[in-house]
Structure 1
Amino acid sequence: MTSLPHPFINHPELIDIPAEMLPAVEEISKWIKSQPRFPVFSKNHAYLFLHACHGDIPSAKRALLRYIQIRAIAPDIFDGRDIMLEEIQFVFDMTHMVALPFKTPEGYNILVYRLSDSDPSKMHFGNAVKAFCMFNDVRISEDVITEGYVVVFDMKGLRFGHLARVQFGPLRMFMQYIQEAHPVRLKRIYVVHTSFFINQIMTLVKPLIRHELLSLLKFTSSGPADVLPAELLPVDYGGPLERLEKMHKKQRRMLETKYRQWLIDSARLKEIPKEERGKTATTTKVSNTIGASNKLEFD
């Protein structure tokens, strides 16, 4: 059992839920409690996943199930979530992970990721995936229920040597998590300042990407100003907002203070081992009810 409010640190009580969604939230909450290998999840979890799945109850159940399963079988990504660990600090030293302060005209939050240190020898792919997932959990907590996310991956500074350091195990698990369990609505993914070896990158990851996610990917050799309104961007990208590095430092500090214990605590949100909660597997019960397909919906 966790000791802090999840999934939203600022909302220990139930958030406002539209009246028409309450019956579905109640159904999912009751279902969670009936599953012997689920951790203690709040009704806020039920609503978060239901919203991410556009109100579809079977899809929300599948996503919840995959959420706890993947977090249980990938301890290298989802355990040891202390942001002050040296290896996690190192990732935040060599990257910028930033939530921009304003939304798109459609009401979507914008997340930007880029390297701040382009030395491939410093990159540990597994640790980078862990830090990325920690940052994204915090964004869900801060943003609560949002219409969706636009993600910008800036490839400036990415070298062929970075590709050589990709570990297939963490990459495969990460792609499963993002497509089957991450409780957000992904709207668009922009890959900007594309490198000459983008084809090699896509050769590596394309077998792991479903059509729904692939359709969200947009590539450009230019910067974010070619795909987003300039007024939403930092000065680094031709906009009026403060530099990305400054925003990164502020948000990193928030993770290190407000969210340090919360992130450590969140490692408990995973499937409970059989020996601790009896011999009946959650996966068997759920598969009989909702089928074997596991995926989130993408727009």
Structure 2
Amino acid sequence: MTELKFNFTALQLIEYENLQEESIENIKKWCATQAIPQPTDELIALFLLSCNRDEERTKTTVIAYYRIKNKAVEIFNNRSVNLPEVQEVLQIGYFCVMPRRTVDGCAIVCIKAKPNTNDDKHWSIRPLLKVICMMLDAAIYEYPPKYFLIIFDVKHLTLKHLSRIKPKVIKIFLEYLQEGFPSKLKAIHVINMVSILNKTIKLLKPFIKKDVWEMTKFHSKKMDWGKFYRECVGTDNLPEEYGGSLGSFEIVHEITLQKLNALEDFFLNEELHRRVVTADVSGEDTED
């Protein structure tokens, strides 16, 4: 079986994150009784941290992780920034993992639609979600963040962009974030909110759990940036377009793509690790 290696070890998480080795062993023994691959100690440690060390919640998350990822293969398999469909997605927006974490260990991921993009480009929603999930995994690979903070800047979103969004596919992404994601969300900020997005949000709201909905904040184009800096994210952790000190979106986007490209072997190994499954947890991607 392909070994899935992160940039940290389970022993480091035991020492620095107050994890119990006994809990890792308990989950490992339980996994051996399930129709799933055997996770590494590091992956088990991630699940435990994401569930606040609750072993029963961890078991539920482990099952969801493999079930969802092996169902939505067009999102979670064959992950490479060099794929033609991914390259098309990268032309319509900036995809940024901020190179600096907050003082409380929060990783920030930002997706911003580019201005004046050609609406007729043949991009689709699955490669878009593939890139976002690659970004999340890239941040976890380095060292598990305490939380994730996700920013969607929709200022330049158009009706043609929205026509590409498939609620059934977005539902899979939301299910993963809420049930199978081996980390924790702190907040989701939708920046430069546009009215044309209201109908889509209304369609998606039934699929969003109450706690996730409550941490989702919508900001108008006239938002109070001073308040945002004080209450949400400081300028040290934002690009210069938002009044921050991290350089431009273009720069952070390019740095992010370099990281994703460097992690191609990791993405492949993660996929190979998941292939050792039975019909109980595998399946086909949902149709549009």
- Taking structure 2 as the reference length, the TM-score comes to 0.86
- 8 Å contact from structure 1 (residues 68, 269) kept in 2: no
In structure 2, the CA distance between the partners of 1:186 and 1:224, relative to structure 1 (3 Å rule), is: farther
Residue 214 of structure 1: CA displacement? 0.3
User: 2:263: which partner in 1?
Assistant: 259
CA apart distance, 1:61? 0.7
Question: How far 1:2 moved relative to its partner?
Answer: 2.1
The 5 Å alignment of 1:37-116 reads 37-116=35-114
Q: Secondary structure at the match of 1:15?
A: helix
Q: 8 Å contact 1:15–1:44 — kept in the other structure?
A: no
Q: Which amino acid aligns with 2:132?
A: F
- TM-superposed CA distance for 1:247, in Å, is 1.1
Task: Give the AA of the match of 2:46.
Answer: L
Q: 1:85 Cα deviation (Å)?
A: 1.3
Partner of 1:235: 240
Measure, in 1, the Cα distance between the counterparts of 2:130 and 2:173: 9
Count residues in correspondence: 272
Q: Corresponding residue for 2:274?
A: 270
Asked if structure 2 preserves the Cα contact closer than 8 Å seen for 1:69 and 1:271, the reply is: no
> Could you tell me how far 1:213 is from its partner in structure 2?
0.7
Distance 1:261 1:271 in 2: 15
Residues 209/221 of structure 1: CA separation in 2 closer, same or farther (3 Å cut): same
What percent of counterpart residues are identical?
27
Q: Compute the TM-score of the two structures, normalised by the length of structure 1.
A: 0.83
**CA pair 269-56 structure 1, distance change in 2 beyond 3 A:** same
Partner amino acid, structure 2, of 1:209: I
Alpha-carbon distance change, 248 to 38 in structure 1, aligned in 2, over 3 angstroms = same
In structure 1, the residue matched to 2:12 is 15
The 1:20/1:76 distance shift into structure 2, 3 A limit, reads closer
Find runs of 4+ consecutive structure 1 residues off by over 4 angstroms.
Answer: none
Q: Deviations over 1:90-122 (max 9, x none)?
A: 222322121223333443222211122543332
RMSD over aligned Cα, in angstroms? 2.3
2:164 corresponding residue in structure 1:
165
The residue aligned with 1:187 is 186
Choose 195-204 or 177-186, whichever is displaced more: 195-204
- In structure 1, give the amino acid aligned to 2:198: N
In structure 2, the CA distance between the partners of 1:151 and 1:13, relative to structure 1 (3 Å rule), is: closer
In 2 relative to 1, CA 224–158 (structure 1 residues): closer, same or farther, beyond 3 Å? farther
Which residue is equivalent to 1:196?
195
The alpha-carbon distance between structure 1 residues 84 and 215, as it changes in their structure 2 partners (threshold 3 A), is same
| 2:143 corresponds to 1:138 | no
Using a 3 Å threshold, how does the CA distance of structure 1 residues 282 and 157 change in structure 2: closer, same or farther?
A: closer
CA distances 1:255-280 after superposition (whole Å, capped 9, x unpaired): 11x211221222224364437xxxxx
SS at match of 2:109: strand
User: Structure 2: any 5+ residue segments left out of the alignment?
Assistant: 283-288
Alpha carbons of structure 1 residues 274 and 110: separation in structure 2 relative to 1, 3 Å: closer
Q: CA offsets per residue over residues 43-93 of structure 1, 9 Å max, x none?
A: 111110010011111111100101001111111112222332111122223
Once the two structures are TM-superposed, the CA of residue 13 in structure 1 deviates from its matched residue by 6.6
